[in-house]
Structure 1
Amino acid sequence: MPYDVALADRIRMVLAEELLGGELDDDEGDLGLVEEKKMFGGLGFMVAGHLAVCAGSKGDLMVRVDPAEIDALCADADVEPMAMAGRTSKSWVNVAPEALTDDALSAWIERGVTAARSASRR
């Protein structure tokens, strides 16, 4: 099954609001601003050349996070560390669809954009 199209559209709307609201700009190194790429069976949204969030196939959201915050974030029952090929990520979480209210989705996307920006500065 391909990525969740409705979730991808919601992500686009949040990112567009951030673009129009000035949250994403070239002063922060967001050159090219947002690029979409199909990956991992989902649709990834890249900021400043780094993956920030990804719409999954089951309505779930994969989010790049600060590794120092992953344990606290995963204390929430709707959030778990990403696991691929038997390996658990230290900088990616998966957020369950039922936890993605409009406000929560915006907050998760903001967290992913912040982490992508940090990755671009390394």
Structure 2
Amino acid sequence: MVYDNNLADRIREILQGEPGVTERRMFGGLAFLINGNMALSASGQGGLLLRVDPADTPALVRRPEATRFEMRGREMDGWLRIDPSGLTTKRRLTTWVTRGVGYARSLPAK
């Protein structure tokens, strides 16, 4: 599946003017990196792949649109899949984008 171009454009609008943002095709989607650290991705499986503080994962997955990202059958703390149903408004998308950018900014630049 190809990532949602409309979602990618909506993310770009939110990130406009944000310093250190680059885009890279990764994991079948379009990733948005902050100073070389992945913050989020318009996922090729739909919705967002979002990087968050691993300590926040248990609380965030209580939200109905958020699940732990699974790679090779293993759930990973610090990585969430956000269902498109949780991204329907600019406000909802901005909440998730802001969280991913904030965590990526807390990491050392690559």
The equivalences for 1:1-122 within 5 A come to: 1-16=1-16, 19=17, 24-25=18-19, 33-100=20-87, 101-120=89-108
Structure 1 unaligned segments of length 5 or more: list them: 26-32
8 Å contact from structure 2 (residues 27, 44) kept in 1: no
Amino acid at match of 1:12: R
TM-score calculated relative to the size of structure 1: 0.83
Aligned partner of residue 81 in structure 1, secondary structure: strand
8 Å contact from structure 2 (residues 31, 42) kept in 1: yes
1:64-113: CA deviation from partner (whole Å, max 9, x where unpaired)? 11111110100011100100111211111111101102101111111001
Q: Count matched residues.
A: 108
- Identity over the aligned pairs, expressed in percent? 42
1:59 Cα deviation from its structure 2 partner: 3.2
Structure 1 residue ranges (4+ consecutive) displaced by more than 2 angstroms after TM superposition: none
CA distance in 2, matches of 1:104, 1:38: 24
CA distance in 2, matches of 1:111, 1:96: 16
Structure 2 unaligned segments of length 5 or more: list them: none
Amino acid at match of 1:5: N
Aligned partner of residue 33 in structure 2, secondary structure: strand
Amino acid at match of 1:113: V
CA distance in 2, matches of 1:10, 1:59: 14
8 Å contact from structure 1 (residues 7, 59) kept in 2: no
Amino acid at match of 1:110: T
